[in-house]
Structures are given as C-alpha cells and as structure tokens.
Structure 1
Amino acid sequence: MAELAAPTDMFAALADESRWQILVRLGHSPASASALADELPISRQAIAKHIRVLQEVGLVSAEKVGREVRYAAVGARLNTLARQLETIAGGWDRRLERIKSLAEEPRDRS
C-alpha cells in the first residue's frame, strides 16, 4: 500500500479549481476521463493531468471497466481529511468561546 499523502499535499491538489470540479463530479458517481471532458469545461488532456494529481494524493481511484478506466472519489481519504478539519475547527471554537466568556465577565472596577 502506498504511503498516505500529507494533508498539505491534499490541500495543494484541491487548490486548483479544475481539480476541485473533477472531485466534486466524481463524488456523485464514477466516470471516465472522456465523460468528464464532455461534462466539464476542461480538455481531455487536462482532465488526465488533473486526475493524475488527485490519484497521487489518494483522493481519486481508478478501475478498469472493459476498455475504459473509470475514476471515483476516495471517500475514506476525504472523510479522514474532513475529520482533521473538524478537530482543528473544534479547537478554534473552544478558544473563541473562552475569549467570549472572558470578555463577558463582569470587571471589578475598584
């Protein structure tokens, strides 16, 4: 099994609007590169390059079906990334709640 990509590598892959569009589309159902090129405003050659980047970070998998290769979003990797973001967000939520409670505490003006 390949080594898991770092979250920063996954975010770098997702920072490109075309790759984001491809991943969103693949999240609905698997598709070939040709089908993606028909549906998205991206050339077939560019689709292939973007898919390669998404595969390298583990966000897209490939399966040969007859003569065509179908690509799919890898839900487990996306879930792992989402959990990591939730952990970070939870830490910020706790900090902000603490700041809010400190700001709202009555002050002794003596």
Structure 2
Amino acid sequence: MAKQQLSQEVQPAQPGKLRDQPEDVVRINRTNPQIRHRGLIFRVPIHTVGGHQLVTTATAFTMFSTLDGEEGLYFPLPVRVASSKRLMPLWQVHRASVREPRPAWMLKR
C-alpha cells in the first residue's frame, strides 16, 4: 500500500503553458496602434499590428506574437519615460525594444 501511495504522490511534471485568458491577449489594430499600461498609453509601430500574448512580471512588460510566439515588444518595469505625457510614442520609453524595428524608429531613439 505504501508503494501505491508513493507512486500517486510522485507524478511527472506537466509542461508549463501560458494562460490563454482573454485579458492576456492584446490586439493592436492598424487604425490606432497603441497599448495601455497602468494609466499610460504607448503609441507602437504600425508593423506590430496583430494579436499578442501579454506577459507582465514585476520587472518587465512583454508581448509575444500569437502567430509565431516571437517577442514583439518589451520594456522594463517600472516604466521610465522621456516625457510626462499620458500618451507617448514607445521609442520614448527607456530601454524599450520592438521586433524588427524600422530605421525611422531607431533614429528617433
């Protein structure tokens, strides 16, 4: 009986999986490409349009593409910005990165 109880307690670990909850999925649209985080609105490059899985931790805000799982957008938390405006371009966020940045975006940084 002890062997049976032991085998029930020791189960193989299940692989981790991101939660697929509606509040974790962010859609960026072409007509108004922006994201919101803690009362701030960030304008994002138009090429980031589409669905993204949002993952936030105490130290990072990250969005992964729902099509290929690649990181699409990242910035460290707490947010450090070059402006005190509520609406700002993402390139003004300290250490922000975006997947496949266009040359114009890199020049603005």
TM tier relative to shorter chain: under 0.3
Higher strand share: 2
Higher helix share: 1
